[in-house]
Amino acid sequence: MARFVRLVKFTPEGLKNLKEIPERFAKGRQYLESLGGKVVDVYAVSGPYDLVAILEASDPQAIMKHGLFAVQTGFVEIVTMPATPMADFLKTVGEVPRP
């Protein structure tokens, strides 16, 4: 399964409705699981984003659908990035010739 890092920022509407976040988070988790993916972990963070989520899915379309499911609430804005394990990255670096 491929991993993805998702950065989440609450919108003003989301901040007004923080009490709904646990229920919406549970629905989002269930939806991703129905697509064959999984929420590996989620962290609340300080800074320009409010949450960082680590997601897994074998199909990038599942991650896209999950993101669209989440943003249509109007409660969050997201940025999603594919994540490459460091060992794979270092192997790739070793395969790139010097210019």
Per-residue model confidence as pLDDT tens digits over 24-33: 999 999 999 9
For the chain, give the mean pLDDT: 96
SS3 assignment, position 71: helix
Which whole-number Å values give the CA distances from 39 to 46, 52, 64, 81, 99, in the listed order? 20, 11, 14, 14, 40
Q: pTM for the complete prediction?
A: 0.90
Q: What is the pLDDT of residue 31?
A: 97
Q: Where are the domains of the chain?
A: 2-95
**Tens of pLDDT, residues 49-72:** 999 999 999 999 999 999 999 999
Sign of the dihedral defined by the CA atoms of residues 82, 86, 88, 91, in that order: positive
CA atoms of 6 and 44, how far apart (whole Å): 12
Euclidean distance between CA atoms 76 and 13, whole angstroms: 8
Q: Which fold has domain 2-95?
A: Alpha-Beta Plaits (3.30.70)
